[in-house]
A and B are shown apart, each in its own frame.
Chain A
Amino acid sequence: MIKTLRARWRQKQRTIAFPQGEPVLPELFRGRPEIDGSRCAKGCDACAQSCPTGAIQTGESGAQIDLGRCLFCLDCESACAPGAIHFTREYRLATAKREDLTVGGDIKSLGRAFNRRVQNLFGRSLKLRQVSAGGCNACEADVNVLNTIVFDLGRFGIQFVASPRHADGLLITGPVTQNMREALENTYLAVPAPRLVIAVGGCAIAGGPFADNPEVTNGAPATVPVNLFIPGCPPHPITILDGLLRLVGQIEENGDDWKKI
């Protein structure tokens, strides 16, 4: 008993300060990319050529990256000789609109607050059923850590539950394999309406590195409409937590004060 107590004392209180304080991110962390279209050489598409998932489009105004497809792998940053692409430390990436995930030369905010109705319904209590549908288990792992004492998800009234019948929504990971499609759709239908769907990771949004393989459906199918997109491969737990807290209105809109960290 005394040893148990001594260990308890040794291990201390370890829950992070976020969202009140700034999150601690790795030195080499890569978040939202920034594109300086003025540096793009005319007709150059080296970034698009290097991209493993075809997430980059080049055009008159420079390159555009679809973060829904992006693996945050830096292959484009290394391929871009004039240095037009730079991945910043901006971790706030979640959005309710799929088209918001395409970033170009303009600086626009991801990480907006969401619809008031969702916040009224689920702001104080959100129960989610997680469905893993064909990914690599890294997104699952970084969703799971939200339940540890470091993030302590329960303090925000958000909880993962064992049955879709007890849930307010689904949190989907993986590119949705042919073999999981039916199980995912049935799980969705088993959640009582009104229900939410959260797609975590590039796979669940657009298929990730498995995109266009005949064995997958390139992310959540149209039958399971997504309300919140959290890009990344996998997204950092802070990015996922930030997205969930914005969804339920526990982090307020900061659309205008977007700043480069």
Chain B
Amino acid sequence: MSSVTSTCVLRNSQAAAIASAPVLGESEFRAFVTEGAREGGRLVAFFGYPQSEGGIRLLAAIARGGESSLEVATTRVDRVYPSLTTDCVQAHGFEREIAEQWGVEPQGHPWLKPVRFHESYRPGQDVFKRQQPPQAGLADFYRIEGEEVHEVAVGPVHAGIIEPGHFRFQCHGEEVLHLEISLGYQHRGVERALVGGPNARSLHLMETLAGDTTIGHTTAYCQAVESLTGVRVPARAQAIRAIALELERLANHTGDLGALAGDAGYLPTMSYCGRIRGDFLNITALLCGNRFGRNLICPGGVARELDKNRLAQLETRLAQASQDVASAVNLLWESSSVRARFENTGTLSKETCLQLGLVGPVARACGVERDARREFPFGLYRFFQIPVSTFHHGNVFGRAFVRWLEIQRSINFIQQQLKALPGGAIRAEMKPMAPGQFCLSLVEGWRGEICHVGLTGDQGQWMLYKVKDPSFHNWMGLAVALRGQQISDFPLCNKSFNLSYCGHDL
């Protein structure tokens, strides 16, 4: 165990007083993070917030899946502190974010660059010493020099209907030696807009953090609000939330398998899955009127009752979609040309996966049993478990196959829940949030673990709200997976990760 004794240990969505999080000295905090991330733990949150007495408080949370525990500790910094990334790779993105937001420099950070290209939250304290307003992508990129080495720059505007991002490949011939991904083009100031809330807009900002993960992020937000108000969500609402979350997973996994088939040039599965994804989205629309699950999840429960008629329709349509998706996806595994294209492409080792702290199907495809539904059970998953689906190759095939396993398990889960849907209310009455409290809320979205951290101020308003989409970790996984690959493998690798730009950029 960690040599640090004084930490605050919480469960998923358990509220605690902010004051109960211990303040550690610099070296003790360093040991807490670096040892915690090494010994079977993982850095799930690491961010700064301003203190009334001046300076910045850094809060880190180490998640221990085996014990379902979240260990929290804090430290005080002002303008500089020694970077933790040198001893803990998982801190890389977090430290860049802290530097950009609060103008605190992690000294000795190996690659200190802006994450989202916005101005510092502390006026006049800019770690990057920029004279002009920040411009996305305007920074030094890693370069490889040498004969026949060339650079390929792509984006922010891409060729397809995709979100903006900038990719720099350092290539030798066709081989990619290094890929650097520079984002921030989708930055629309969500976290700052939440401060001082909740208000009429808060829930809608959650629904639009990442449109394809509306249910995942909204559930994480509502869990946080509910624990900070001490409201218990009715069982029926928990069941509807879990059904919606699995439908979201089904739609996206099916879409991903279709897109992967398309990139391997296998059109039958591409066409079928493109449509079946829509069938799953339409089942979500059956629940609430919107294909992405807008206006379904709300603090206290869910906003729409699932009446008998729609319940019956849901069962019929799910059974149909279940047969269609099996027929479409099984073609992939029976096609030797598809298998050959997927296997040995974009391989990540289990060791790299653990070091980078990757999450979701990407981690499970590397043989890492990481799934918040089992490790940090929330809502209905406290009573009904879904087996964790893993594979061991860590390549495109593994990531595709894990998705297929999860599709089957999600369908089974929904079918079971529909047969045993609890009765009763769908929404509990909300109360104001308690002042001076915080909580970490974890949800296993379809891309992986979503982590929200809310801290309330002295009036029970949001003093700070931190959102972490699984993409925040996994973009680095994509960059590393591409090393030593052909540049033409990028689209296929990229689809096998299918990460969110807006969820990352916030």
Of residues 114 to 155 in A, which have CB atoms within 8 Å of B's CB atoms? 129-145, 147-150
Which listed residue (B186, B212, B285) contacts A141, Cβ 8 A?
A: B212
Q: Which residues of the other chain, A, contact B271 by a CB distance below 8 angstroms?
A: 148-149
Assess whether B157 is in contact with A145, with CB atoms less than 8 Å apart: no
Assess whether B193 is in contact with A210, with CB atoms less than 8 Å apart: yes
Looking at B60-68, B203-211, B382-390, the stretch in contact with chain A turns out to be B203-211
Given contacts A136-B209, A183-B157, contact A213 B289 (CB under 8 A): no
Looking at B7-15, B274-282, B358-366, the stretch in contact with chain A turns out to be B274-282
Assess whether A145 is in contact with B278, with CB atoms less than 8 Å apart: yes
The chain B residue sitting closest to A78, CB to CB, is B303
Question: In the bound complex, how far is the Cα of B206 from the Cα of A73, in angstroms?
Answer: 13
Q: Which residues of the other chain, B, contact A144 by a CB distance below 8 angstroms?
A: 161
Question: In the bound complex, how far is the Cα of B157 from the Cα of A160, in angstroms?
Answer: 13
Assess whether B201 is in contact with A209, with CB atoms less than 8 Å apart: yes
Contact of A29 with B by CB under 8 A: yes
Question: In the bound complex, how far is the Cα of B278 from the Cα of A132, in angstroms?
Answer: 21
Contact of B117 with A by CB under 8 A: yes
Per-residue CB contact flags for chain A residues 38-81 toward chain B (1 = under 8 Å, else 0) read 00000000000111110000000000000000011111000000
Contact of B19 with A by CB under 8 A: no
Interface residues on B, range: 35 or more
Which listed residue (A11, A51, A142, A148) contacts B327, Cβ 8 A?
A: A11
Contact of A4 with B by CB under 8 A: yes
Q: Closest Cβ of chain A: how far from B296's Cβ, in Å?
A: 10
Q: Which residues of the other chain, A, contact B116 by a CB distance below 8 angstroms?
A: 179
Q: Closest Cβ of chain B: how far from A180's Cβ, in Å?
A: 5
Contact of B291 with A by CB under 8 A: yes
Assess whether B274 is in contact with A141, with CB atoms less than 8 Å apart: no
Q: Closest Cβ of chain A: how far from B426's Cβ, in Å?
A: 14
Contact of B234 with A by CB under 8 A: no
Q: Which residues of the other chain, A, contact B201 by a CB distance below 8 angstroms?
A: 52-53, 209
Contact of A95 with B by CB under 8 A: no
Which listed residue (A4, A49, A143, A179) contacts B184, Cβ 8 A?
A: A179
Question: In the bound complex, how far is the Cα of B327 from the Cα of A57, in angstroms?
Answer: 52
Per-residue CB contact flags for chain A residues 2-28 toward chain B (1 = under 8 Å, else 0) read 011001101100100000000000111
Assess whether A73 is in contact with B162, with CB atoms less than 8 Å apart: no
> 18 A-B contacts, Cβ less than 8 Å apart?
A7-B268, A7-B327, A11-B272, A11-B328, A29-B285, A53-B204, A71-B294, A72-B290, A132-B164, A137-B502, A138-B212, A140-B161, A140-B162, A177-B187, A179-B185, A210-B188, A233-B294, A234-B211
